[in-house]
Structure 1
Amino acid sequence: MGTDTVRARATDEVAERRREQHGWYFYDWACSVYSTSVLTVFLGPYLTSVAKHAADADGFVHPLGIPIRAGSFFAYSVSASVILSIFVMPMAGAAADRTGRKKPLLAASAYLGAAATTGMFFLDGDRYLLGGLLLVVANASVAVSMVLYNSYLPQIAPPEERDAVSSRGWAFGYAAGSLVLIGNLVLFTAHDSFGVSESTAVRICLASAGIWWGAFTLVPLKRLRDRRTTPGGGRAPAHGWRQLAATVRDMRGKPLTLSFLLAYLVYNDGIQTVISQASVYGSEELGLSQSTLIVAVLLVQVLAVGGALGMGRLARTYGAKRTILGSLVAWTVTLAAGYFLPAGAPVWFFVLAASIGLVLGGSQALSRSLFSHLVPSGKEAEYFSAYEMSDRGMSWLGPLLFGLTYQLTGSYRDAIISLVAFFVIGFALLARVPVRQAIRDAGNPVPDRI
């Protein structure tokens, strides 16, 4: 084979890899709007108001006959969606690895979630149970789809590119969130000009996130390639817990990978809870308007784009692990400051939002790329199902603690400060993980800087 032929083939491979990477970025672009517009901005305060409308004289609703303070219903629904994800994600990951058919599974989970999100248009009156059900379905669906999406990373990016590729994916997601939030802000603040009520404007914003999710999912479905990474097909186990147990047993041969997952489980539980509960804290405890919350989250999205790319550059100099540890210190300081925010003072809430935006994207992007080095070849989706359970699937303790703290104390300030523990403990656990040895144990090459 001639030198020119070898060079041409190498050039074609690089071009194909870039094409897949660009397609991969677009799933972050598609589904991040759900996390931003639905989970972070609109659904928490709106579902809480619907639950309060349905509450009894003492402020409690009674799903399945269980008395729940209306202000805790959203947090409990998030926890329920996470518990459902535990059963579904391991099966999806195992099926993807064994059959090599990730795209059909990605399509199914993405469009189920998009449909549930679009259905939130019908959430009005006292239909808090409908809202809880749609939230559970959408949240579980996005978790499953992210298992499959993340598992492509080791296949489309060599080790030296993964921090940058992962960071660009998060940046794409935050850019999409910013763009859609601008449209949401225009509709919500000028809803009278559009001839709709405030409630209808919120429901349109919720449904539009589902439409956006479904439409842009077409791009990665067209560009990403299925790969069979293990011989044979085989059937995935029928029980989520059984598959999870099988994955964990396999991971016992990689104890340092498990150690990283434990650390990530803890600190990311705090991150996910801040994302899902910040708007409730702002509206219920600080008395801020929905417009103020939208602007604050928009500020988070804009700064998170630069934060994700900037922390990706820091990782090239200091390594991903040290950069993540630094972000956890920043999270701890930011949450502690959030406890003392004065009510009715949007400027200080904007300062808090800016602090979150600068560390949010980078801490998540670098955690994803760092874990990709710890995954044995051929088991990407299976291991990323465990990772995603740390990312979303096991992030039930934070919302549960947040909801219980509010239920017991009636104070969202106490609820928000309780989350500091997740970042402190997560920092201590991550600091103890020797990542270079973990990468070698997984059978992967160790990058010069990690």
Structure 2
Amino acid sequence: MASQKMTKAEKSWIMYDVGNSAFVLLSTALIPVYFGSIATGSVVVAWGYAETVASLIIALAMPFLGSLADMRGMKKKFIVGTVGTGAVACIALGFPTNAMVFLVMYVIAAVMLNSSMVFYDALLVDATTEDRYDEVSSHGYAWGYVGSCIPFIICLAIVLGHESIGLSMGVAMKLAFAITAVWWVAFTVPLLRNVEQTHYKSRPERMMADTLKSLVETLKNIWADRSLRFFVIAYFFYIDGVHTIIRMSTSYGTDLGISSTQLVLALLVTQFVAFPAAIIYGRLGKRFGTKKMLLVGIAGYMFITLFAALFLKTATEFWILAIMVGLFQGGIQALSRSGFGKLIPKDHANEYYGFFDIFGKYASVMGTFLVSTITMLTGASSLGVFSLVILFAVGFVCMMQVDGTREG
């Protein structure tokens, strides 16, 4: 069946993935390397704990803020606030020379980025129809991967060639952070102009009390719905491994002695591989079912984790790992987002996605904390990575319990 032409609202929704992915790629590939140049001790340990703090803040705040954002006209207002604050924090990253101050700035930027993603994810139900969730969500991740490469390559050229163009490393990094922030804001504009919040709940008379009551009811509804319950439990475990691999791959490679240039270029290859892979994954999800393709993605990540823990030693092996991650990363994230959207009431999308984010962020707390702690205690980062296999296995078993007939 031929793919339906994208509407203006769908294209505009996808554009935000292009915008925010620039900071995601920078924070995955270049920021940890830059942090390593101003930090002392293990980069994996310090970076892991910073990611843990950011994830914990998001997990605690997002259900409540998500519930407020479900009210009429509030989703885009929250996006404006989080993107604006995040962009300012991104620019500010170019100024600290103290490692701790830098980490504080990074945590602020990361919290704002991931908070905006909750509101953005919830707008999927407003931007398109349920039968197109998988395809539109997959296109978001796909274009995010390839689109983010444009500012990243520019930033990389400035940073690596700073001497040839007469700039100090400090000035080059300031430019890199500023370019990323401007890109992020620019690609937020179409979303704000062309996507309207069509699903919403009425504003309660008692804002705080009724919002908290609604959160409790939502949590009860999630637990009472068997498929939804097993879906979020599965997501809690498998996305832990996905996020941990994304966030700590560069610092893990640095600890193994792989050069920063090799690490960055390999991760750039991941973006290009992920572009067609995510689109194909979305189409396969429509043909074979979201659940089946999520199971394929989880199994793929189990293999990736085993490869990283047992065989990753050289730059060549890191390149192989980067390609394998690119094949599954966008697909498993996109179908998780769209699959969850098919199971929830649309007028409470933000509230439900707030809890969806809790399961993802608390998992990230566990994963990054686990890898950092085991690395610190044993001196072997491979042992921390190896433990992630168990999380993928539990996620696979729980996903098997989800009713695939509810995909619409």
Q: CA deviation at 1:298?
A: 0.7
Tell me whether 1:320 sits opposite 2:290 in the alignment.
Answer: yes
Decide whether aligned partners of structure 1 residues 137 and 23 sit closer, same or farther in structure 2, where only a CA change above 3 A counts. same
Match of residue 97 from structure 1: 70
CA contact (8 A) 1:100 1:226 kept: yes
Highest CA radius of gyration, 1 or 2?
A: 1
CA contact (8 A) 2:304 2:325 kept: yes
DSSP 3-state at the match of 2:201: coil
- 1:287-306 aligned at under 5 Å gives the runs 287-306=257-276
CA contact (8 A) 2:235 2:359 kept: yes
Give me the whole-angstrom Cα distance separating, in 2, the residues matched to 1:393 and 1:195.
44
Higher mean Cα deviation, 253-262 or 394-403?
253-262
DSSP 3-state at the match of 1:252: helix
Match of residue 129 from structure 1: 100
Give me the whole-angstrom Cα distance separating, in 2, the residues matched to 1:91 and 1:394.
19
1:426 to 382, 388, 395: 395
Give me the whole-angstrom Cα distance separating, in 2, the residues matched to 1:299 and 1:230.
43
Q: After superposition, what is the alpha-carbon deviation per residue over 1:245-299, rounded to whole angstroms, capped at 9, x for unaligned?
A: 44312323423212201110110011001000000011121x1222211111110
Higher mean Cα deviation, 244-253 or 97-106?
244-253
Tell me whether 1:311 sits opposite 2:300 in the alignment.
Answer: no
Match of residue 273 from structure 1: 244
CA contact (8 A) 1:300 1:353 kept: yes
Tell me whether 1:46 sits opposite 2:34 in the alignment.
Answer: yes
CA contact (8 A) 1:114 1:211 kept: yes
Match of residue 354 from structure 2: 385
CA contact (8 A) 2:44 2:248 kept: no
Match of residue 35 from structure 1: 24
Give me the whole-angstrom Cα distance separating, in 1, the residues matched to 2:33 and 2:214.
36
Q: CA deviation at 1:242?
A: 7.6
CA contact (8 A) 1:143 1:392 kept: no
- 1:35-434 aligned at under 5 Å gives the runs 35-38=24-27, 40-52=28-40, 59=41, 71-124=44-97, 127-198=98-169, 200-227=171-198, 229-234=200-205, 236-237=207-208, 244-285=215-256, 287-341=257-311, 343=313, 345-392=314-361, 394-434=363-403
CA contact (8 A) 2:45 2:376 kept: yes
Q: What is the aligned length?
A: 405
Q: CA deviation at 1:410?
A: 1.4
Give me the whole-angstrom Cα distance separating, in 1, the residues matched to 2:222 and 2:205.
20
Percent identical among aligned pairs is 27
Decide whether aligned partners of structure 1 residues 338 and 202 sit closer, same or farther in structure 2, where only a CA change above 3 A counts. farther
TM-score by structure 2 length? 0.92
Q: CA deviation at 1:199?
A: 5.0
Q: CA deviation at 1:309?
A: 0.6
Give me the whole-angstrom Cα distance separating, in 2, the residues matched to 1:240 and 1:289.
50
Q: After superposition, what is the alpha-carbon deviation per residue over 1:343-388, rounded to whole angstroms, capped at 9, x for unaligned?
A: 4x32221111000001110111111111110011311111011112
Higher mean Cα deviation, 301-310 or 85-94?
85-94
Higher mean Cα deviation, 104-113 or 390-399?
390-399
Q: CA deviation at 1:19?
A: 1.4
Q: CA deviation at 1:197?
A: 3.6
DSSP 3-state at the match of 1:396: helix
Decide whether aligned partners of structure 1 residues 231 and 92 sit closer, same or farther in structure 2, where only a CA change above 3 A counts. same
Q: CA RMSD in A?
A: 2.3
**Partner amino acid for 2:53?**
A
Structure with higher RCO (Cα < 8 A, 6+ apart): 2
DSSP 3-state at the match of 1:192: coil
Decide whether aligned partners of structure 1 residues 342 and 173 sit closer, same or farther in structure 2, where only a CA change above 3 A counts. closer
Give me the whole-angstrom Cα distance separating, in 1, the residues matched to 2:270 and 2:20.
17
Give me the whole-angstrom Cα distance separating, in 1, the residues matched to 2:107 and 2:212.
19
